[in-house]
Amino acid sequence: MPLVHHAKREIHVKVVYYGPGLGGKTTNLEHIHRHSAPDRRGKLVSLMTEAERTLFFDLLPMEIGVFRGYRVRLHLCTVPGQMAHDRTRQLVLRHVDGVVFVVDSQRGREESNVASIRNLAENLRRQGDDPDRIPLVVQYNKRDLPDVLSIEELREALAVPPDVEQLEASAATGAGVFETLKAITKACLKVLGDPATIPEGRSPSIVPGRRASMYRAAEATTPEVSIPKAPAVPRLDDD
Ligand SMILES: Nc1nc2c(ncn2[C@@H]2O[C@H](COP(=O)(O)OP(=O)(O)OP(=O)(O)O)[C@@H](O)[C@H]2O)c(=O)[nH]1
Ligand SMILES: [Mg+2]
């Protein structure tokens, strides 16, 4: 991915919403699904536990218009944020083109946010991607709640470099949700360039030149977070 299909004049872009448990990833997709034209969106598939935690992943296919003569099809996915589901996160991340990192702005969630950034970097490296070259947007979510850190405090705690696009949001009310989607779509299409010149099939999504890294900062500043042994989860036979 992005996967270019010249005969159909289509581009497929996979965007993964990543972040700590209960940060609002699924709520983002639910808002997008609810507020998109029915002929532009597919079914929102969610696999949840009883407590409405994502057990496996959410998937929402969308069509967002035409880019240089090619129809753009987005595949929006979320990972399960709970630490135990790391194997599932690795599967969902395969062939990712762009990441939305959903930050939980609430006071007290700093460590979970940083642990999730570290985990994202680890899992990208594990599959051979350079975390500093995958298109990335940071969403500061839950801005509607009273006890949230300021954007400056969050930016500093998470060491988000200024060249990464950052947006405030409240997925619960919908504020900032489509702006985030637009930002990551633009970032993914920017690195794609002219689809007509790209070979058929899947090609890596790589930002030219490395960014300043919030991953290295997270790795340098956080203590080891031990990941408990994963419980049984359904396996995805990908490829
Ligand atoms: N007030 C407020 N609540 C939010 C916001 N975003 C999400 N929530 C609530 O936070 C809870 C968790 O949201 P989810 O979207 O399920 O979180 P998640 O990141 O998908 O969590 P996992 O699937 O466990 O990784 C839900 O009760 C949401 O309604 C927000 O912006 N503001
Ligand atoms: Mg979820």
DSSP output for 148-185 = B--HHHHHHHHT--TTSEEEE-BTTTTBTHHHHHHHHH
Domain assignments of the chain as residue spans, ordered by start: 3-221
Q: Is the peptide bond before 223 cis (omega within 30 degrees of 0)?
A: no
Mean pLDDT score of the chain: 88
Instruction: Write out pLDDT tens, residues 185-203.
Output: 999 999 888 888 888 877 7
Q: How confident is the model at residue 1 (pLDDT cuts 50, 70, 90)?
A: low
Q: CATH topology for 3-221?
A: Rossmann fold (3.40.50)
**Mean of pLDDT values over 113-123:** 96
Instruction: Write out pLDDT tens, residues 15-33.
Output: 999 999 999 999 999 999 9
In the chain, % of residues over pLDDT 70: 91
The atom of ligand 1 lying closest to the CA of 19 is 19
| pLDDT value, residue 56 | 80
The atom of ligand 1 lying closest to the CA of 30 is 15
CA of 33 to the centre of ligand 2 (A): 14
End-to-end CA distance of the chain: 13
Instruction: Write out pLDDT tens, residues 34-62.
Output: 999 999 999 999 887 767 777 888 999 99
Q: Which residues pair with 59 in a beta bridge?
A: 45, 77
For ligand 1, say whether the CB of 105 is within 6 Å of any of its atoms. no
For ligand 1, say whether the CB of 27 is within 6 Å of any of its atoms. yes
**Mean of pLDDT values over 84-96:** 93
Q: Quick check: 60 and 33 in contact, CB under 8 A?
A: yes
| pTM (two decimals) | 0.90
The two beta strands, 98-104 and 136-141, are parallel
